[in-house]
């Protein structure tokens, strides 16, 4: 992610279909064990600031909630 992108929320159009589906699955369940999500997609969603790792699992960030709903 470039520094000038740090202050903006990515749009759903910037995600692959699989990434968007994973983000929506995480949001629907509120918490997903980290090992249930594809590593590459997990890293990308984390770099975009859409998910965060907590206590061995993944949760959607506020930005992730916004993107997953649109």
Q: Give me the pLDDT at residue 6, please.
A: 56
Q: Give me the pLDDT at residue 58, please.
A: 94
**Structural domain for 48, as ranges:** 16-69
Q: Give me the pLDDT at residue 31, please.
A: 87
How many domains is the chain partitioned into structurally? 1
- Establish if 5 belongs to a structural domain: no
- Establish if 2 belongs to a structural domain: no
CATH for 49: 1.10.10.10
Q: Give me the pLDDT at residue 62, please.
A: 93
- Establish if 3 belongs to a structural domain: no
- Establish if 40 belongs to a structural domain: yes
For the chain (70 residues), the mean pLDDT of every run of 10, in chain order, is: 60 90 92 88 92 92 91
Q: Give me the pLDDT at residue 20, please.
A: 93
Contacts 24+ apart (CB under 8 A), 55-64: 57/31, 57/32, 57/33, 58/26, 58/31, 58/32, 58/33, 58/34, 59/26, 59/30, 59/31, 60/23, 60/26, 60/27, 63/9, 63/10, 64/23, 64/26, 64/27
């Amino acid at each position: 992610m470039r520094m000038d992108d740090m202050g903006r929320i990515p749009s759903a159009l910037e995600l692959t279909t699989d990434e968007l589906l994973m983000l929506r699955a995480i949001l629907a369940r509120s918490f997903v064990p980290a090992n249930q999500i594809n590593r590459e997609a997990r890293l990308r969603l984390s770099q975009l600031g859409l998910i965060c790792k907590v206590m061995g699992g993944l949760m959607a960030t506020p930005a992730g909630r916004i993107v997953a709903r649109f």
